[in-house]
Amino acid sequence: MLTEERTSNTQSTEEQVPLSVTRNGQIYEEPLIFERSIPGRVGFSFPEDDAGLDHEIKGDLLREEDSLHLPEVSEPEVVRHFTRLSTWNYGIDLNLYPLGSCSMKYNPRINEEVAALPHFKDAHPSMPPRYNQDVLQVVHQLQDMICQLTDMPAVTLQPAAGAHGELTGLFLMQAYHRDKGQERKVILVPDSAHGTNPASCTLAGYDVKELKSTRQGLLDLDDLKANLSPDVAGLMITNPNTVGVFETNIRAIADLLHENDSLLYMDGANYNAIIGQASLGKMGVDVSHLNLHKTFSTPHGGGGPGGAAVVVSHRLQDFLPGPHVVRNGEDFELVSAPKTIGRMKAGIGHFGVLLRACIFIRSHGNQMGAIAEHAVLNANIVRKNLMEHFQLASDNDSMHEVVFSDSKQKKTGFSTMDLAKALIDYGYHPPTVYFPLSVHGAIMIEPTESESPETLDHFSRVMKDIAERMQAGDQDLSSAPHRAFVTRIDEATAARNPVLNYFTK
C-alpha cells in the first residue's frame, strides 16, 4: 500500500518519492509546493536591460536573509502543482454530489461566460455609480426578480452566505422590536434546525429556545403556543424543513407569531424545492435568506465568495442594510433604507456571485417552476429506489431531498459512516450524514434537478449494493474507502491536527 511506502520511506529524498507518481492510473501524487522548492529557481527572469537600468535591489532595501521562505519554483511547476491538486477534488463537474441541504447543482457555463465580460470582470466597487451603471442595472434586475419570485416587497443582496444572511435577518428583527421600544430576548428554533440557526441567534445576542417536532417531522403547534411569551422576538424555521418535508402549517404558524407581535424567520436554504411554485408572502414570512450558491447555481466555492438574498416583509423593509439599487428614470442609484441597520458587507455585496444568479434566473425565463418540479421528482426517484433497503425518516412525501435513518443497517453492525466511506470507492461523494440530529444515523440525499434518471438509478444501485454487502457481513466495509487517496482516517484527529504533507511523512 502506498501509505506504508510513505511512512517507511524516510531515508533520502530519492527513496522518499515512490516510483510511480500516480495512484489508480492518472491520479497524481503531489507534495507540498515548499517541498518542490529548489534554491534559486524562478518563475521567469527579466531580460538584460538595454537601457542600462539596474533592477537589483540594493543596500538598505535588501532583506538580510530570506525570512519569508517562499517556495522557489518554475512557472510550469506552479501550474502542475495546482492542477494536480485540483484533480484530488470531487466536484459537480465529475459526478452526482448528493449532499442533503446543500443543493449542489450544476453551475452552468453561460454564467461564467457572461461574468468574464470585461465591463463586469473589471468593475470596481469604489467606482462612482455613473461609471458603473451596467453593474447597478444587474443588481437592480436581480433585486426585482427575487422579489417577484418570492412574492416579497424588498430584498438585500449584501450578505456573503446563508449564515451571514441569517445574522442580517436577526439584526433586522432586533431593529424592528427596538424601534417599538422593546428588547425581546428569545428566538424559538425547532429541534430539526440547521446548526447555523442557533449559532446565528447566539451571535446576534439572542437566547435560543428549542421547539419539538412531531413524529411526521413537522413543528409541534402546541409546543409553539406553550412557548409564545412577550419575550419572543420570533421563530426561525426551515421550510421545506431539514427532514425534506413541507411545513403545511406555515400560515398558521405565522398568524400565531404575529398575534404575539413576534416575527417569522424562514430559513430558505431549501428554496430549490418550491422556487416558482410558492409565495413566501402568502405564507406570512417576515424574513428569509436564499443561498445564491444553492438555488441559484453560483459555485459553492469551498468557503470562497458566496451570496445570499435576504427578502423581507413590509414590517422589516425600512431597516434593510444599505445601500441597495433604485431606478431613477434612466439612471440606477444607490440609496439606503430610512432606518437602515447599516452595512453587512462592503459595496453592494459579491457582485460576481449576484451576476451569475441573475443570469441563471434570466436563462430560465418563466420556467423557474420546472426547477422545483424536477428537484422534487429526482428526490422521489431516489426515495422509491431505496425505500426497501433503507428506513425512511418520515412517511410524509419528500420534497427536494430524502432522509433515511440507519435502523435497517444497525442490526448488521455497520454504521452510516461505513456507508458514506464505501460510496467513495464507487466514485460518489457521500450524502450528508448524521444530520438532522433528530434522525438516528441520518442519511440525507438531495440530487437537485441537475441529474438524469440514469445517474440516479446508478447511484441507487450502488447504495443497494452497499446495503446488501452490509447484510452479508462484508468486513471490507469497515475500513473503506480502499481506492481513495486517503483511506479511513480518525476524523476528529485529522480535523485538529491535519497532516498536510503526508506524501513524504
Could you say whether residue 163 binds ligand PLP (CB under 6 A)? yes
For the bound state, the minimum distance from the C-beta of residue 307 to ligand PLP, rounded and expressed in Å, comes to 8
Question: 297, 356 in Cβ contact below 8 A?
Answer: yes
The answer for residues whose C-beta is within 8 angstroms of residue 49's C-beta and 6 or more apart is: 55
- For residue 240, state whether it binds ligand PLP (rule: CB under 6 A): no
Binder among 196, 239, 378, 460 for ligand PLP (CB under 6 A)? 196
Q: Which of residues 247-286 bind ligand PLP (CB under 6 A)?
A: 267, 269-270
Give 378 or 385: the residue with its C-beta nearer to ligand PLP.
Answer: 378
Nearest CA among 216, 246, 273 for reference residue 393: 216
Cα gap 411→221, rounded to integer Å: 35
- In angstroms, give the least distance from the CB of 196 to ligand PLP: 4
Tell which residue, 163, 366, 270, 382, has the closest CA to residue 250: 270
Nearest residue (CB) to ligand PLP, 193 versus 480? 193
Query: Of these, 97, 99, 162, 218, which contacts ligand PLP (CB under 6 A)?
Result: 162
Contact window for ligand PLP (CB under 6 A) among 25-33, 160-168, 177-185, 394-402: 160-168
8, three cell numbers: 517507511
Q: In the complex, what is the shortest distance from the CB of residue 277 to ligand PLP, in angstroms, rounded to a whole number?
A: 18
What is residue 114's three-state secondary structure? helix
Which span sits near ligand PLP by CB under 6 A: 142-150, 155-163, 313-321, 444-452? Answer: 155-163
Helix axes 196-203, 162-179, angle to 10 degrees: 40
| 312 backbone dihedrals φ, ψ, rounded to 5° | -135, 160
Q: Whole-number minimum distance, CB 406 to ligand PLP, in Å?
A: 21
Query: Least distance (Å) from ligand PLP to the CB of residue 194?
Result: 4
CB of 378 to ligand PLP, least distance (A): 17
Find the part of the chain contacting ligand PLP (CB under 6 A) among 113-121, 158-166, 341-349, 457-465. Answer: 158-166
Place of cell 449576484: 354
Q: Does residue 306 touch ligand PLP according to CB under 6 A?
A: yes
Grid coordinates of 484: 481513495
- How many chain residues touch ligand PLP (CB under 6 A)? 13
CA distance linking residue 289 with residue 298, whole number of Å: 15
Q: Toward ligand PLP, which CB reaches closer, 241 or 460?
A: 241
Rounded CA separation 280/402 (Å): 23
Q: Which is nearer to ligand PLP, 306 or 323 (CB)?
A: 306
Q: Does 350 bind ligand PLP (CB under 6 A)?
A: no
* DSSP 8-state code for residue 479: G
Residue 161 binding ligand PLP, by CB under 6 A: yes
Instruction: In the chain, count H helices and then E strands.
Output: 17, 15
- Binding map of ligand PLP across residues 210-239, x = CB under 6 A, - = no contact: ----------------------------x-
Per-position x/- string for 97-116, each x denoting binding to ligand PLP as judged by CB under 6 A, each - no binding: ----xx--------------
By CB under 6 A, residue 291 contacts ligand PLP: yes
Please report whether residue 446 would count as binding ligand PLP according to CB under 6 A: no
The residues in 123-142 that bind ligand PLP, with binding defined as CB under 6 A, are: none
SS (H, E, C) 406-429: CHHHHCCCCCHHHHHHHHHHCCCC
Considering the complex, what minimum distance in angstroms separates the CB of residue 398 from ligand PLP?
A: 16
**DSSP-derived pairing of the beta strands 308-312 and 154-156:** antiparallel
| Residue with nearest beta carbon to ligand PLP | 162
CB of 355 to ligand PLP, least distance (A): 18
Beta strands in 152-291 (DSSP E): 154-156, 186-190, 207-211, 232-238, 263-267, 287-291
User: Which own/partner pairs from 196-200 qualify as long-range (CB within 8 Å, at least 24 positions apart)?
Assistant: 196/162, 196/163, 196/166, 197/166, 197/236, 197/238, 197/267, 199/163, 200/163, 200/166, 200/167, 200/170
Which H or E element spans position 118? helix 118-121
Closest CB 113 distance from ligand PLP, rounded Å: 25
**Residue 438 binds ligand PLP (CB under 6 A):** no
Q: Which residues bind ligand PLP (CB under 6 A)?
A: 101-102, 161-163, 194, 196, 238, 267, 269-270, 291, 306
